[in-house]
Structures are given as structure tokens and as C-alpha cells.
Structure 1
Amino acid sequence: MTSTQNKGKAIFRVVSGNFLEMYDFMVYGFYATAIAKTFFPADSAFASLMLSLATFGAGFLMRPLGAIFLGAYIDRHGRRQGLLITLGLMAIGTLLIACVPGYNSIGLAAPLLVLLGRLLQGFSAGVELGGVSVYLAEISTPGRKGFFVSWQSASQQAAVVFAGLLGVALNHWLSPEEMGDWGWRVPFFVGCLIVPALFIIRRSLEESPEFEARKHRPSLGEVMRSIRQNFGLVLAGMALVVMTTVSFYLITAYTPTFGKSELHLTDLQSLLVTMCVGVSNFIWLPVMGSVSDRIGRKPLLVGATVLAIITAYPALSWLVAHPSFGNLLIVELWLSFLYGSYNGAMVVALTEIMPAEVRTTGFSLAYSLATATFGGFTPAACTWLIHALDNRAAPGIWLTGAAILGLIATLNLFKAKGAASGRLQTAS
């Protein structure tokens, strides 16, 4: 077996759990309206939906804690063992959401148990992305780090497509009433059923040679001290991540809700667009990861953020003025290109700026803070902005703000010619 074959198998094994993490998040976003009616009944549909989306966002608040504690565990005990733990926590959270009876059956316990499931998912996800990204960076071949690390995000797109396909099938087989009553639970049960296979796949994962060669394994206290010393770098990394996490959740998790509630498209049309976005993301991410290996990270980061600032709000304004399946697809595919261009360079750049001894913790904390404060609340923020501003194009404002922050972070990180910036500017 060749080295390339070995590394291809390692990529598949490590991203398999990443697939489940994103699948779980997607199906919650896809069926937020049905979940709202089941667990969060309220006098108005807007209030019910906001409660459901806020619970979706609440899971992201646990990510920083997962990043710190699980990240420190992985930096001390290894990538393989920590990634098995995150998979188990994700599975428990998914099972809770799938099985909890509705509000009409058990009252307040229903939304509380759903919230607990989301918090468990968020805690595990806090280090899942970082653990996978760092592992891929450490096993990459010279000059191809961007391409290797891009498969972390690409695996998420496979989850988006799979969740979308399942949603299309369910909408074909079941009536809208059946989907609202119980059909939305089916994707969660499917997620539970694939967990055993993912455990078997991930258990065969080998530890990264770079981690095994490291003589010193930092304790939790040492990790915390290093994070405090490098917290400015973590905050800069957080700002860098905001653009990618906002754009991702806008074009995937929020699309079904936006298409149905604001553009008055059918569930099937919105899910088909989301599937196309997932395919588009899956193509652009490794392509742009490879491009960043050739030309460096900065050109892609700057170019994507500038284009987003210029086009995001005008594109959404045009869409709401001319709502249709085709126009939603055009706008979403454009935003997918911007996301793929930015994220293809951003994730690998984030692994490169973090100190090696706390790479998983630092990466995960930066990513988790961005997701907890901006990205995870994108569906709720967009829904509120539309309502508050009486402007259905308001999600474009949210994305523009994220792009501005990403541009500032990029220029700040690349301004200095020190060691960290030098690693970023040189294609690794």
C-alpha cells in the first residue's frame, strides 16, 4: 500500500465523525419550523420559530468550553482518543433530540431535554473541527497542507447533501402534515443508526506521527497558561473565522427557513437549493485549498471578503425583489463560491498561526468563539433582522458585516512580517 493510499484512508477515517457532527446540525436547521411547533409552542409563529432557532444557537455557546477542556485532552492524550470521545457525545445529543416526546406530552421537560441535547452536541463540536483540522495538517504532505485540511470542511458538505437528499425523499413520501407531526424525526434517527459504523471507522485511526514525536504533552494548566499568553492571537483567529461560519450557516442551515418563510417557496425547492449548495461547496473547498497552497492564503482571504462586501446585500435585495427557485439557486451558488474561496484558505491558515503544543485547543477556541458569538446564531439573527427592519434582504447585511470583520482580521494578521505572518504568507 502506497503512502498516498494510507493518507487517503486516514482522511476518510478522521472526517467521518465530522460528517455526523455537521449532519446533526443541518437537520436541526432544516426542520426548525417543525421542531418549533413540537417543542416550543407559542402564541405567534415568529416567537415559536425564534425559540427553536435560539436553541439551535445555544448549542454553539457550549463550543468554547468543549474547545478548552476537550482540546486540552486531545493536546495531551492524542488526536485519536479525543476524536472518539467527541463522536460519543454527538451521538448522545442526537439521540435525545430524536426521542424526546413533544411539549403536549411532557410539557416543559420537552424543550429542556432538547436544549440538553443541543448543549451536548455543541460541547463535542467545540473541538471536533479543531481536532480534525489539526490532524489533517499534521499528516499532510509537503506543499499540500491547504488541500489536506480542506477535506475537513468538504466532509461537512457531504453531510449537507446527504441531509438534503433525505429531506427531498421524505417530502416526496410524506404529506406536509406528516412531516410536521413526526416525519422530521426520521433524519435524527438515521443519524443515530450510522453512529456504530462511524465508531468502527474512527477506531482504526492511527495517531499522527507529529504528535507521537512530541516529547512534552502539556497538562490542562499548561494549556490554559499558553492560551492566556496567546489570547490576542486567539481573538484574531476568531475574527478570521466569523466570515466563514456566518456564510456557511447562511447558505446551508438557514436556506430552507428563508426559502419557505420569506420567499414562499416549497420545502422541496428550498431543500434542492441547499443540496446544490452542498455540492458546490464540496467542489470549491479542495480546489481553493489547493490554490492557497500555490499562491498563499492572503490573496484568497482578501479577494473573497472584498467580493462579499460588494455583492452580498445587492444579491439578496435582487432575490427578494424577484423570488423564484432559479434566482435563489443563482444567489446561493455565488455565495457558495465566496464561502469556498475564503474557507479553503482560512482553515489551514488558522492551523498555521497556532503554537504547536496547544494547536488543537487554540484552533478550537478561536473557531468556537466565532461560532458561538456570530455563526451559530445566524439563522436567529437573520430572522430577527428581517422582522426588526421589515427587510427580507437583511441577511445580506449580516453577511456583509462578517466579511468586513474577516477582511480586517486578515489584514491585521498579515501586516506583521514575524514568524506567524511569515508562515501564513508562504504556501505550506
Structure 2
Amino acid sequence: MAGQIRQIFGGAAGNLVEWYDWYAYSAFALYFGPRFFPPGDDLAAALNSAAIFAVGFLMRPIGSWLLGAWADRRGRKSALTLSVAMMCSGSLLIAVAPTYDQVGLLAPAILLFARLVQGLSVGGEYGASATFMSEVARAKWRGFLASFQYVTLVGGQLLALALLVLLQAQMDDAALKAWGWRIPFVVGALCAVLVFWLRTGLVETEAFAQAQANKPPGSLLSRLLAHPRELLIVLALTAGGSLWFYTFTTYMQKYLVLSAGWTKQEATSASAIALLVYMLMQPVFGAASDLLGRRTLLLGFGVGATLATVPALTALGQARPDGSGLLLLIGCLAILSCYTAISGVVKAEMFPAHVRALGVGLPYALGVAIFGGSAEYVALAFKDAGQESGFFWYVTVMAGVALVAALALPDTRANSRIETD
């Protein structure tokens, strides 16, 4: 049991740093955005920053293919170590990048390149870490233990927001815009070096070793395409789930500022509190899936998200910075937890070990790149066009797609490929 905990901790700690580095960009975009683009209004700078955030997601399918294939051929440990090294380099590049005033259009080009490197890293991280943590967890508590992937994913976002709150308290707005925004990227790069060392001490999973001994013939692509139904289910679940996730986590901070009229500090504080509660929800919902089944929770998300999107976003757009707005946001994150707590494990249980990392990572990365990663940009574009409510209905439709996928999914708790390989 102690060895299993060490393995889970090793995978989770790396996941925490990976996602901290990824979300630091979004958390501090309101401050560094104007430094990388020609002078203009705040909405234009937010749109430009969101566009690069979205473009970074386009690299995630490539990263999921490269590192997913690496994980299925060379091992989960090797892929996890490589992904955190790539994230370190991307964060360090942003930390030292020159601004538009210094080098002109080269500044956004450097920012874009760094974000593409981070996109490759995160694209490979999800599938490899979901596979690793699901394979080392015992079947009885797999939903609970694997939920710590999203505990650390949300924890990374929360740490980025916590650092933002701290810097907002210690520095004035001008200093944050001038140079303070570089601090979180320096911190991320240093933490990634520490995690690189930590991940070199992980032990490869038994499932990978068995898969290498019993690998079926054919190329990796042909073996992956032998599971079209599973690939489509993962893609559809991710399309709705990731869009909801990025709407109510990453974009929410900007939505509360630009639409509800909150100050940056009020929006950051509310987001941080809501994310802390949300993070603590993950093991609870993960344990519930061990008792009730994975499909039950996914159906709960599909129904709840489809019905709640429009009224919830409408109410949040009119909410005041008091307890009522915060409680509403936490309620939305509770619905989301039915998906995120078991997102990794339910996908890992659908695929055989010889294509598990790639089967989990590739359709997930495609769904996130198309729908989740573009959430901020699409929302801001609707707002810029004066049709903000159109975004609410778009999110509703995609939640319905996730519901259809959940209806087509057998309960993987009772039919896990991790045990039947």
C-alpha cells in the first residue's frame, strides 16, 4: 500500500506542477497581455491573449500523439518525465520573454512559441498521467485514487490564482503589469526542475510490462483504430466536459470582470475560493463512482450541465461580489465534478494497455483543443459581437453531446480493461 501511495504521489505532484504552469498564463493574462501586443483597449488585449491560449491547445493533440505513443512504447514513467521537462522550458521562455515595446512583433511570436511547447507538454501529460495513476490504483478504490489527477490539475490552477492574489496584495497594478507577471513563470520553471527529479524515481507499472509481453501485431495506429467506439465516446465526453470546465474555471475570472462588473481582485478571490472547494470535491465524487458506478456520475453531469448552463451563466453575469455569486459558482462546479473526478479513470478503463495512454490522450486532446481551449476566445467573440447569450447556448448544446456519450457508455467500473487485459 505504501508503494502505491508513493506512485500516486509521484504522478500527482508532477501533474500539479504541469497544470500550474499551464494555468499561470490564463491567471496573469490580464496583466501581461497588453505587454505583448500593440497598444489598444483591454478587450482587444484579452482577445489576443485568449487567441494564443487557444492556439496552444492546438499542439495538445500532437503532444498527446507523440508522448502517448512514447508512453505505450517506452513506458509511462519515461513519458511523464519528458513532459515535465518540456513544460519547464516553456515556462522559462515566457519568464524571460521581451515585450512588444522592446522587440515589436517578435514579442507575441516568442510568447506563441513558448505556449506551443507547453501545449505539447500538457497534451502528453493528461493521457500518460491518467494511465499511470489508473494502472497503479487498486480496483476497489480506483475512482477515489485516480480522482487525485484532477485534484492536482485544479490544485495547479488554484496555486496560480493564489500566487496572483498574493502578488495583488503585495504589488500595485502598475508593477504587476510592468514586471510582476514574470514571477509565476519563474516559480513554475523551478518547480518543474524539482518534479523532473521526483519523476525519475517512479516505478513503471505492471500493466505496461504485461502489455509489452502480449502486444498484438500491427502498427500502433492500426491497434488504436481498432477501438472506434471508445475513441468517439472519449471525444464526445471531452467536448462537453472540457468546454464546461474551461467556462466555469478559466474563463470565469474574466467573465466576472468584463460582464458582471467585478474588480480583478474580487473575481480572483471568488475564483480561488470556488476552486478550493471544487478541488476538495474530487475525491468525494471519485469515491462515489466506486460505489455507484462511473456511468451514473457521467449521466448526472450530462443532465445537470444541459439544464443549468443558460440560467447559471445568466445569473452569474448579473451577480454581485457577495456570497450568492460564490455559492452559485460552487454549485456549477459540483455538477462539473461528476465529470472531472472520473474523467481520467473512465477513459483509461476503456482501452487495453498497449494503446491505453494514446487512446486516452489523443481524443481527449482533440476535444479540448477544439472546444475547451477555444472557450475563452469564443465567449469573448460573442461578447464583442453583442451576442453574449449565444455562447451560453453553445455550451448547452455541447453538454447535450456529452450526455449522449454517457448514455452510450457501459459502466467501466464493472467492465474495466485494466483487469481484463
TM superposition score normalised by structure 2? 0.94
Q: Which moved more, 1:77-86 or 1:314-323?
A: 314-323
- In 2: Cα distance, 1:15 partner to 1:49 partner: 31
- 2:408 is paired with a residue whose SS is helix
Deviations 1:177-210 (A, max 9, x none): 1111211111111111212221221111111122
Work out whether residues 160 and 274 of structure 1, in 8 Å CA contact, stay in contact via their aligned partners in 2: no
- 2:147 is paired with a residue whose SS is helix
Aligned counterpart for 1:184 among listed residues 145, 170, 181: 181
Give the superposition deviation at 1:219.
11
The residue that corresponds to 2:344 in the other structure is: 347
Aligned counterpart for 1:234 among listed residues 222, 227, 231: 231
Q: Which moved more, 1:38-47 or 1:90-99?
A: 38-47
- In 2: Cα distance, 1:196 partner to 1:162 partner: 17
The residue that corresponds to 1:406 in the other structure is: 402
Please tell me the residue identity of whatever aligns with 1:423: N
Deviations 1:25-63 (A, max 9, x none): 221111222232011225443332211101001111011
Give the superposition deviation at 1:217.
7.8
- In 1: Cα distance, 2:419 partner to 2:400 partner: 24
- In 1: Cα distance, 2:184 partner to 2:377 partner: 22
Alignment of 1:28-427 (within 5 A): 28-216=25-213, 222-391=219-388, 395-414=391-410, 423=415
- In 1: Cα distance, 2:241 partner to 2:83 partner: 22
Please tell me the residue identity of whatever aligns with 1:105: Q
- In 2: Cα distance, 1:293 partner to 1:31 partner: 37
- In 2: Cα distance, 1:223 partner to 1:319 partner: 46
Give the superposition deviation at 1:396.
3.2
Deviations 1:116-170 (A, max 9, x none): 1111111111120111111111111122111121111111122122112111110
- In 2: Cα distance, 1:109 partner to 1:320 partner: 36
- In 2: Cα distance, 1:190 partner to 1:330 partner: 31
Work out whether residues 351 and 359 of structure 2, in 8 Å CA contact, stay in contact via their aligned partners in 1: yes
Distance of aligned partners of 1:328 and 1:206 in 2 relative to their CA distance in 1, 3 Å threshold: same
Work out whether residues 56 and 118 of structure 1, in 8 Å CA contact, stay in contact via their aligned partners in 2: yes
Distance of aligned partners of 1:213 and 1:138 in 2 relative to their CA distance in 1, 3 Å threshold: same
CA RMSD of aligned residues (A): 2.4
- 2:342 is paired with a residue whose SS is helix
Distance of aligned partners of 1:285 and 1:406 in 2 relative to their CA distance in 1, 3 Å threshold: same
1:8 corresponds to 2:8 = no
Q: Which moved more, 1:295-304 or 1:217-226?
A: 217-226
Please tell me the residue identity of whatever aligns with 1:114: L
- In 2: Cα distance, 1:259 partner to 1:92 partner: 32
- 1:204 is paired with a residue whose SS is coil
Distance of aligned partners of 1:15 and 1:158 in 2 relative to their CA distance in 1, 3 Å threshold: same
How many residues are treated as equivalent by the alignment? 420
Deviations 1:65-91 (A, max 9, x none): 111111111101111111110011111
Please tell me the residue identity of whatever aligns with 1:223: L
- 1:143 is paired with a residue whose SS is helix
Give the superposition deviation at 1:100.
0.5
Please tell me the residue identity of whatever aligns with 1:400: T
- In 2: Cα distance, 1:421 partner to 1:18 partner: 24
Work out whether residues 297 and 424 of structure 1, in 8 Å CA contact, stay in contact via their aligned partners in 2: no
- In 1: Cα distance, 2:343 partner to 2:191 partner: 30
Report percent identity of matched pairs: 30
Give the superposition deviation at 1:244.
2.4
Work out whether residues 90 and 120 of structure 1, in 8 Å CA contact, stay in contact via their aligned partners in 2: yes
- In 2: Cα distance, 1:404 partner to 1:356 partner: 30
TM superposition score normalised by structure 1? 0.92
- In 1: Cα distance, 2:328 partner to 2:219 partner: 46
Please tell me the residue identity of whatever aligns with 2:383: I
Work out whether residues 146 and 342 of structure 2, in 8 Å CA contact, stay in contact via their aligned partners in 1: no
Give the superposition deviation at 1:386.
2.1
Give the superposition deviation at 1:413.
2.7
Give the superposition deviation at 1:218.
6.1
Distance of aligned partners of 1:293 and 1:426 in 2 relative to their CA distance in 1, 3 Å threshold: farther
Gaps of 5+ in 2: none
